[in-house]
């Protein structure tokens, strides 16, 4: 069975109530292929999750941008996966490079977070990607393999995992990876999963690309055989997000 195209909108730390209403209004009116063709998930900041969920069309879904690594408790400022269960939020983004870099999240910590969220029935968009220095040093594949291994070490069932390859040098910079650059890493990742997890998971796991995706570059990126969708930041706040969703066909 083919891999269903996946488009995630990562709103990051952006938005007011009025802006959120406007974005959701645009999404709700959009003409896009059905859920059988493309899975659409938007990820507002935590404080807007229930609001967005209540307004959003039923064929689009919501994701949190993070979750605590274990059961909730005395962790000031954190949000637990149990709360996502309680609010019926199906998806969570974990291991985004902004958290890895700014908040020092390690590979092992991200692996633990992914495993814990999955254990509570959440679906996970797990982010990996190399820095510019690592790319220039020729270690891209080794870096993303190590990040993926830290997840694979803790996860036995990959049904609810989407892997998001997001080269750090392409995030929010306007410097998108070329389709060939992205395809090369996606193919290497799929091979890594094939060799280290199994052929069935390698064939079915969706590997999406993130980093300066926009309405102008999504179609060509989407045409690459191992690019199964996108995680979109800046452009997910704009009407061009609809064009990105439509690049599924």
Only one residue has tokens 């300066």, namely 212
Give the span between the Cα atoms of 238 and 241, in whole angstroms.
6
The nearer residue to ligand G2H, 11 or 197, going by C-beta atoms, is: 11
Q: Is 167 exposed, middle or buried (0-12, 13-18, 19+ CB in 10 A)?
A: buried
The least CB distance from residue 18 to ligand G2H, in Å, is: 21
Give the span between the Cα atoms of 150 and 146, in whole angstroms.
6
CB-based burial, 81-120: b 16+ in 10 Å, e otherwise: bbbbeeeebbbbbbbbbbbbeeeebebebbbbbbbbbbee
The nearer residue to ligand G2H, 151 or 231, going by C-beta atoms, is: 231
Give the span between the Cα atoms of 243 and 126, in whole angstroms.
24
Residue nearest to ligand G2H (CB): 233
The least CB distance from residue 164 to ligand G2H, in Å, is: 7
> What HEC string does 176-232 produce?
CCCHHHHHHHHHHHHHHHHHHCCHHHHHHCEEEEECCCCCCCHHHHHCCCCCCEEEE
The nearer residue to ligand G2H, 23 or 197, going by C-beta atoms, is: 23
Give the span between the Cα atoms of 1 and 229, in whole angstroms.
16
Give the span between the Cα atoms of 18 and 139, in whole angstroms.
43
The least CB distance from residue 176 to ligand G2H, in Å, is: 8
Binding site for ligand G2H (CB under 6 A): 10, 166, 171-172, 210-213, 231-235
The nearer residue to ligand G2H, 94 or 202, going by C-beta atoms, is: 94
Q: Which of 39, 96, 98, 130 is catalytic?
A: 96
The nearer residue to ligand G2H, 130 or 202, going by C-beta atoms, is: 130
The least CB distance from residue 195 to ligand G2H, in Å, is: 27
The least CB distance from residue 125 to ligand G2H, in Å, is: 9
The verdict on whether 96 is a catalytic residue reads yes
Q: Which of 39, 98, 166, 186 is catalytic?
A: 166
Catalytic residue numbers read: 96, 166
């Amino acid at each position: 069975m083919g891999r269903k195209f996946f488009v995630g909108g990562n709103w990051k730390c952006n938005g007011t109530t009025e802006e959120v209403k406007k974005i959701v209004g645009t999404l709700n009116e959009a003409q896009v292929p059905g859920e059988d063709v493309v899975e659409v998930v938007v990820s507002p900041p935590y404080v807007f999750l229930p609001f967005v969920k209540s307004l959003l069309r039923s064929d689009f879904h919501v994701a949190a941008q993070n979750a605590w690594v274990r059961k909730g408790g005395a962790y000031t400022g954190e949000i637990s996966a149990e709360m996502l269960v309680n609010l019926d939020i199906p998806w969570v983004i974990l291991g985004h490079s902004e958290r890895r870099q700014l908040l020092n999240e390690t590979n092992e910590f991200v692996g633990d977070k992914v495993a814990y969220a999955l254990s509570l029935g959440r679906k996970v968009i797990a982010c990996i990607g190399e820095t510019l220095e690592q790319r220039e040093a020729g270690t891209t594949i080794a870096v993303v393999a190590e990040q993926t291994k830290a997840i694979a070490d803790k996860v036995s069932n990959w049904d609810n995992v989407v892997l998001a390859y997001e080269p750090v040098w392409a995030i929010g910079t306007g410097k998108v990876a070329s389709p060939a650059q992205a395809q090369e890493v996606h193919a290497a990742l799929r091979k890594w999963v094939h060799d280290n997890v199994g052929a069935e998971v390698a064939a079915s796991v969706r590997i999406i690309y993130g980093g300066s995706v926009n309405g102008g570059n999504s179609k060509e990126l989407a045409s690459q055989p191992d690019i199964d969708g996108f995680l979109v930041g800046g452009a997910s706040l704009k009407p061009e997000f609809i064009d990105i969703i439509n690049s599924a066909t």
